Amino acid sequence: MTLGTIAVVGGSLAGLRAVETLRRAGFDGRIEWIGAESHEPYDRPPLSKQVLRGEWGPERIALARDGLAPLRAELHFGARAVRLDARERRVELEGGEQIAFDGLVIATGAAPRKLPGQPDLAGVFTLRTLDDALAIRAALDAGPRVAVVGGGFIGAEVAASCRERGLEVTLIEALGQPLEQALGASIGALFAGIHRDHGVAIRTGSAVASIEGERRVERVRLADGSVIPADVVIVGIGVRPETAWLADSGVEISDGVVCDDHCLTCVPNIVAAGDVARFPSARYGESIRVEHWTHAVEQAEAAVATLLHGRDVAAPFDPVPYVWSDQFDAKLAVAGRPRASDEMRVVEGSFEDRKFVAITGRDGKLSGAIGLNRMRKLMEWRQSLREGISFEAAIARAAG
């Protein structure tokens, strides 16, 4: 099929990189670009940090600094895709508009999860979009008591940013430590210590039973019966891929859009990229879905290559994931796919100094690298992960 028109559904990073890559690759056809938000593409990592702290305005996080005109795309921003007719090759938007395409890039990202029974009270927020960040920032201006539910990357960053604004902050995590599910109890304990040193109250080991108040939030009640007074509650317990609009489309869905190792779905000329895409990784021997900034860029480029050139020409997509997190003066970076259950070895620095690189091993292979305030060294280990060396070889390399 000749790709005269390509539709890109997703107005954030992966969508932007897909459109940019199409034009860089010489695609001169029509691009129909659909985004649920009315904003032009912006950078999400600063939302929980510089934007929430009031240091940056929306203009500072624009991703296309020269504007979108050079991309020559037909823009449908502020128009959510509600249905895909894969047989007729059409995307239906809210309001009924139909967008025809020959090729399609699905890059609809993910939406925040909510707590079971989470009430619709003033002062209760999730953080995913620029509008979310601005609404939370405005609420923080009143000097509220803040409760952050969820001790993963987003929750920990939000707690740090609120505390840096001088607010009373409680971080609530159902597990034993913040970041424990992703990086294990030892690193979780380290970050709990960092937060406590900066004045964050940490409540771990008890889930949220209810968020309570009359017309606005007043308190968080935990499963152990204790109560945390709060004027603002920010729920950061992960995200779910935005796939509801693909129901009955014929595109396979399983915690994301299911793709092959070339980002191609089960429907010809439809690819997926970014937070929404699930793909098989030969490197890690599992089907994975990655929610990181760097991944959105790399997968969008790979998906477009498959769309334009076919899977017989394009290279398989099997990256080494990479993510970073800034919390107070601690800069954490993680490469690969470490698990909390992996064997861990500190190969440079120490936990005590809060400056180190640790590598992880699983099934005899190097599975990941975790660095705190050691960015350059961490990137060197990302290259070792690309090489696929054994954990034993990695330990020997560190010793050398």
Co-location of 33 and 107 in the same domain: yes
Q: Does any domain span residue 289? A: yes
Co-location of 9 and 156 in the same domain: no
pLDDT at residue 400 in the model: 81
Residue 98: how many other CB atoms lie within 10 Å: 11
Kindly report the average pLDDT of the chain as a whole number: 96
For residues 357 and 370, what is the distance between their CA atoms, to the nearest angstrom? 6
Looking at this protein, which amino acid is placed at residue 225?
G
Co-location of 100 and 123 in the same domain: no
Co-location of 12 and 57 in the same domain: yes
Q: Cβ distance 46 to 60 under 8 Å?
A: yes
Please name which of 356, 327, 370 lies closest in space to residue 197, comparing C-alpha atoms: 327
Q: Does any domain span residue 323? A: no
pLDDT at residue 1 above 70?
no
Report the share of the chain in percent with pLDDT over 70.
100
For residues 391 and 159, what is the distance between their CA atoms, to the nearest angstrom? 35
Which tens digits make up the pLDDT trace of 188-202?
A: 999 999 999 999 999
Domain that holds residue 337: 329-399
Co-location of 10 and 118 in the same domain: no
Co-location of 221 and 267 in the same domain: no
Which tens digits make up the pLDDT trace of 213-246?
A: 999 999 999 999 999 999 999 999 999 999 999 9
Q: Does any domain span residue 322? A: no
Co-location of 66 and 98 in the same domain: yes
pLDDT at residue 188 in the model: 96
pLDDT confidence band for 2 (50 / 70 / 90):
confident
Q: Does any domain span residue 75? A: yes
Co-location of 163 and 230 in the same domain: yes
Which tens digits make up the pLDDT trace of 3-34?
A: 999 999 999 999 999 999 999 999 999 999 99
pLDDT at residue 392 in the model: 96
Burial readout 53-87 (b: 16 or more C-beta within 10 A, e: otherwise): beebeeeebeeeeeebeebebebbeebbbebbebe
Mean pLDDT over 68-95 rounds to 97
Co-location of 216 and 264 in the same domain: no
The domain total for the chain is: 3
Co-location of 229 and 248 in the same domain: no
Domain final residue pick, 252, 274, 309: 309
The CATH number that applies at residue 358 is: 3.30.390.30
Domain final residue pick, 173, 208, 235: 235
Which tens digits make up the pLDDT trace of 257-266?
A: 999 999 999 9
Co-location of 124 and 214 in the same domain: yes
For residues 221 and 205, what is the distance between their CA atoms, to the nearest angstrom? 13
pLDDT confidence band for 65 (50 / 70 / 90):
confident
The answer for residues whose C-beta is within 8 angstroms of residue 206's C-beta and 6 or more apart is 172, 174, 222, 223, 224, 226
The CATH number that applies at residue 65 is: 3.50.50.60
Domain final residue pick, 309, 338, 354: 309
Q: Does any domain span residue 124? A: yes
For residues 262 and 270, what is the distance between their CA atoms, to the nearest angstrom? 11
Co-location of 99 and 248 in the same domain: yes
Which tens digits make up the pLDDT trace of 135-194?
A: 999 999 999 999 999 999 999 999 999 999 999 999 999 999 999 999 999 999 999 999
Q: Does any domain span residue 315? A: no
